[in-house]
Amino acid sequence: DVKVTQSSRYLVKRTGEKVFLECVQDMDHENMFWYRQDPGLGLRLIYFSYDVKMKEKGDIPEGYSVSREKKERFSLILESASTNQTSMYLCASSLEKWTGVFEAFFGQGTRLTVV
């Protein structure tokens, strides 16, 4: 089974701190994604990556950055955490070949609280 693992289930950070959220997948997927989930807003795409060292902005990239130095690892960075970044963060990976498309596999989520 594909496994997507996020390093923390729950995090509490102070305003202004630099926060790292780590995500690792074990199925050699090219594509990796970071979403945030807020009540009533569904999933919103922050950043995504289709390859190592490659990154693309999603719908709400402000206040975030990412790093993908290895294929299996995709890190989300909050440069200076703010209270409006309190949310559930979900990492996902997927594999897309020219012959078809495969679903996204999600990690268990990190619930971040910024105080």
Partner 1 sequence: AQSVTQLDSQVPVFEEAPVELRCNYSSSVSVYLFWYVQYPNQGLQLLLKYLSGSTLVESINGFEAEFNKSQTSFHLRKPSVHISDTAEYFCAVKPYGQNFVFGPGTRLSVLP
Q: Is 69 in the site for partner 1 (CB under 8 A)?
A: no
In the region spanning residues 6 to 45, those forming contacts with partner 1, defined by CB under 8 A, are 9, 33, 35, 40-43, 45
105 binds partner 1 (CB under 8 A): yes
Tell me if residue 84 falls in helix, strand or coil.
helix
Contact range with partner 1 by CB under 8 A, out of 12-20, 65-73, 79-87, 105-113: 105-113
Length of the chain in terms of residues written = 115
Query: Least separation, in Å, of the C-beta of 54 and partner 1?
Result: 14
Cα–Cα distance between 38 and 14 in angstroms, integer? 20
Measured distance CA(28)–CA(2) in Å, rounded: 9
Rounded to whole angstroms, how far apart are CA atoms 111 and 8?
Answer: 8
Q: Does residue 95 interact with partner 1 by CB under 8 A?
A: no
Residues 6+ apart with CB under 8 A from 96: 30, 31, 102
Residues of the shown chain interacting with partner 1 in the complex, contacts defined by CB under 8 A: 4, 9, 33, 35, 40-43, 45, 48, 58, 90, 92, 94, 96, 100-101, 103-109, 111
